[in-house]
Amino acid sequence: MKRTIVIALAIFTFALMTRAQEPAKTIAERLGYPRDAKLLIVHADDLGMAHSVNVATIKALGTGLVNSGSIMVPCPWLSEIATYARSNPQADLGLHLTLTSEWTNFRWGPVSSKDRVSSLLDKDGYFYLLETDAAAHADTRQVEIEIMAQIEKARALGIQPTHLDSHMGTLYQSKALFEVFLRVARSQKLPVRIARNWFPRADYLAQTLGPDDVYIDRVLDIGPDVAPQDWARFYSDELKKLEPGVTEVVIHLAYDDAEMQGATFNHPNWGMPGRDVGVAGFGVVNSAADPRIIQFGLKLSF
Interface residue list for its own copies (CB under 8 A)? 50-52, 54-55, 76-80, 83, 104-108, 111-116, 123-125, 153, 156-157, 255, 257-259, 262-263
Least separation in angstroms between residue 155's CB and its own copies is: 12
CB 61 within 8 A of CB 53: no
Taking the least distance from each CB to its own copies, the nearer of 51 and 267 is: 51
Least separation in angstroms between residue 50's CB and its own copies is: 8
Least separation in angstroms between residue 93's CB and its own copies is: 16
Least separation in angstroms between residue 139's CB and its own copies is: 16
Taking the least distance from each CB to its own copies, the nearer of 34 and 125 is: 125
* Residues contacting 49, CB < 8 A, separation 6+: 72, 75, 77, 263
Q: Which of 18, 17, 35 is nearest to 26 (CA)?
A: 35
CA 260 to chain centre: 18
- Nearest 10 degrees: Cα torsion 111, 113, 114, 118: -100
Taking the least distance from each CB to its own copies, the nearer of 106 and 234 is: 106
Please count the other Cβ atoms lying within 10 Å of the Cβ belonging to residue 6: 16
Taking the least distance from each CB to its own copies, the nearer of 78 and 250 is: 78
Least separation in angstroms between residue 43's CB and its own copies is: 23
Number of residues in the chain: 302
User: What residue type is assigned to position 67 of the chain?
Assistant: N
Q: Half-sphere exposure (CA, 13 Å, Cβ side) for 278? A: 14
Least separation in angstroms between residue 112's CB and its own copies is: 7
Q: Half-sphere exposure (CA, 13 Å, Cβ side) for 241? A: 7
Taking the least distance from each CB to its own copies, the nearer of 107 and 175 is: 107
Taking the least distance from each CB to its own copies, the nearer of 99 and 298 is: 99
